[in-house]
Amino acid sequence: MKQGLFPRVVLWAVMLFLLGPFIIVFLAGFSGGETLAFPPPSYSRRWIVSVLQAEEFRQAFGTSLQIGLLATVIALLLGVPVAYAMSRMPPPGMAVIKQVLTSPLIIPAMLVGLGLLRHFVLLVDAPVFLGLLIGHVGLLTPYAVRVVYSSLANLRVDIEEAAITLGATRLQTFRLVVLPNIRGAVIAAFFLAFVTSFNQVPVSLFLTGPGISTLPIEMLGHMENSFDPSIAALSTLLVLFTMAFVLVTEKVLGISKYM
Amino acid sequence: MSYLNLQQVALGYGNARTAVEGLDLAVQRGELISLLGPSGCGKTTTMRAIAGLIDLRAGRITLDGRDISRLPPNKRDIGLVFQSYALFPHLNVFDNVAFGLRLRKVPAAELRQRVEKVIAAVGLSGFEARLPAQMSGGQQQRVALARAIVIEPKLLLLDEPLSNLDAKLRVQMRAELRRIQRELGITMLYVTHDQDEALAMSDRIVVMNSGKIEQLDTPEQLFNAPRTRFVANFMGFENLFDYRHGQLHGAAGQLPLAGLPANTACAGWRVQQVQVGSGPYEGRVLSRGFLGEHVEYLLQTALGEVRGMAPAAQASAREGDTVRFDLPVQDALALAA
């Protein structure tokens, strides 16, 4: 087929629109100046180095990583069985259940954060880390359910019956037959959930507390107080971190097939 | 007592009406028995109940002297070959076949030997490393069979195993299945809607209709002496008419016919038994089909539609012509009330 000029122009326009902001942030991150400005007056690595050495950012990064990984794993442990039950033994009122499981995607996350703060953290005086973790688990579980459910809905039931007639228990069937065939979806759900948690602001805003903060919240706080290029430098590092994460996962597991 | 026994079995799905009711069936060890019937007659439901994939509503199933009615499906030692094959898509041929043996913790050396033997028996040596998606339907079918027989099940159930294959391969696989069944001496329950398949392969055939058994007989008996109208129709008696007081009653009207037993309620003829060209009756040709040595006719008669045949050399009648035909009383299948 002859390729027209128009689709290529659109493609490049969209690419520019998507990547443009990042290019600006990227260049600003290597600024040699004292304030956030574009184009930067000069280039250096000083803000990159300073961000890497900043204790508050390192701690927040650690918290974000911990919350992200823990919440993702818990969300999958909850979400995969729920998705399995939904696909294999659809309970009465399936439509309602689907709606409820999607609601955190619809309800503004800020409400979720506020609600958790008012009615859980303040009420029982829960530790900050626990509050954050629960907030994130609640936020991520629907992602896990959705992604895994759509994969399970496409997996034939007769292979499970075949495994059972060959002598497998329900649990063995799930482990030996179901899980290997939805592996891609589970990995995709893991990735989606982790990135969502890692970039989460509205829920975390209410649930972070003295001494414990996630990276996006720390960055927000920093921006309110100072206007130096360290935020741009940090953003650059984060984008590189996420890209590396995506590339490695893609190389090792080939997730793009499932997303 | 027989090897496999179903006693007054009732089955159904959810709240729906019962799919099978009051079913009794006794299968001998080493027998190949077919469940034959149109779709929705309950044959697959019955098979799934024997495998334990659906619960009994009533009744009892025993296998090899043991009541298995409440036994979970993974404890029954019953092999099942699915219509869709249901191979594990993430495992290659060897691992698909080895699945049941691994669950039984068979030692590695014995496992390898048994799996390879079965793969050879179904003619797939050299394909061990292939994934199901890389194989043809016929090959997948063989893998499914190998996977089910390698565990040496007490009973092998096959659910329309050949229905997804092309006609030539289907006939080939019939003989193959029969050979494997004989060699292993395995008891086999074979579900099909194809009467040719059932007639060609089975020791005995169970004809099912609307959740009940119509007739259980050898292929010869079933073919030559069906006992109900339904079975007669299924076995190729396409011309079936009610019979009262020396008259055949069809959809359109009546014709006299003498010489059938007094208690006859229904009389039937195969297409090839109805001679077109001469005889006491008359009909108008609705359509004709050339079959090589014979020509098949569809006639509009006083009874309604009648299907008959004439040798090709004498079949000069065309659509719209009026021809004579005979319903030979000596060939008639007479069903008592």
Query: Do the domain assignments include residue A9?
Result: no
Query: Do the domain assignments include residue A33?
Result: no
Instruction: Please give the interface size between A and B, counted as residue pairs whose CB atoms are below 8 Å apart.
Output: 61
Helix (H) or strand (E) holding A235: helix A230-253
The string of pLDDT tens digits covering residues B152-165 is: 999 999 999 888 88
- Write down the mean pLDDT value for chain B: 91
Query: Do the domain assignments include residue A1?
Result: no
Mean pLDDT (whole number) for B141-150: 93
The full DSSP string for A7-39 is HHHHHHHHHHHHHHHHHHHHHHHTB-SSS--SS
Question: Which of B68, B99, B143 would you mutate first to test chain A, the one with the most A CBs within 10 A?
Answer: B99
CA distance from start to end of chain A: 28
A96–chain B nearest CA distance, Å: 21
Query: Do the domain assignments include residue A101?
Result: yes
Q: Which domains does chain B have, with CATH numbers?
A: 4-233 (3.40.50.300), 237-336 (no CATH)
- pLDDT higher than threshold 60 for residue A258: no
Mean pLDDT (whole number) for B298-327: 90
Residue A1: predicted pLDDT:
57
A33: tokens are 């100046």
A158–chain B nearest CA distance, Å: 6
Question: Which of A165, A171, A181, A183 would you mutate first to test chain B, the one with the most B CBs within 10 A?
Answer: A165
Question: Which of B44, B48, B84, B88 would you mutate first to test chain A, the one with the most A CBs within 10 A?
Answer: B88
Query: Do the domain assignments include residue A48?
Result: no
The string of pLDDT tens digits covering residues A115-141 is: 888 887 788 877 888 888 998 998 899
Distance, in Å, from the CA atom of A102 to the CA atom of A106, rounded to the nearest integer, reads 7
Query: Do the domain assignments include residue A12?
Result: no
Distance, in Å, from the CA atom of A170 to the CA atom of B260, rounded to the nearest integer, reads 60
Name B159's Cβ contacts closer than 8 Å, sequence gap at least 6: B44, B47, B80, B81, B82, B83, B191
- pLDDT higher than threshold 80 for residue A211: no
CA distance from start to end of chain B: 32
Distance, in Å, from the CA atom of B132 to the CA atom of B93, rounded to the nearest integer, reads 7
Mean pLDDT (whole number) for A22-46: 84
**Which amino acid belongs to residue B280?**
P
Number of folded domains in chain A?
1
- Name the residue facing B103 among A159, A168, A180 (closest C-beta): A168
- Name the residue facing A164 among B73, B90, B104 (closest C-beta): B73
Q: What is the CATH number of the domain that holds A148?
A: 1.10.3720.10
Query: Do the domain assignments include residue A166?
Result: yes
Query: Do the domain assignments include residue A31?
Result: no
**Which amino acid belongs to residue A255?**
I
Greater pLDDT, B124 or A108: B124
Going along chain B, which residue ranges are E strands?
4-12, 18-27, 32-36, 58-63, 66-67, 78-81, 155-159, 188-192, 204-209, 212-217, 239-244, 247-249, 254-256, 264-269, 275-290, 294-301, 305-311, 322-326, 333-336
The string of pLDDT tens digits covering residues B207-266 is: 999 889 999 999 999 999 999 999 999 999 999 999 988 889 998 888 998 888 888 999
Q: Is the dihedral of CA B310, B313, B318, B322 positive or negative?
A: negative
Residue span of the structural domain in which A192 resides: 57-227+241-257
- For chain B, say whether A100 makes contact (Cβ under 8 Å): no
Mean pLDDT (whole number) for A85-93: 83
Chain B, window 214-253: residues with a beta carbon less than 8 angstroms from a chain A beta carbon? none
Residue of chain B whose alpha carbon sits nearest to that of A159: B86
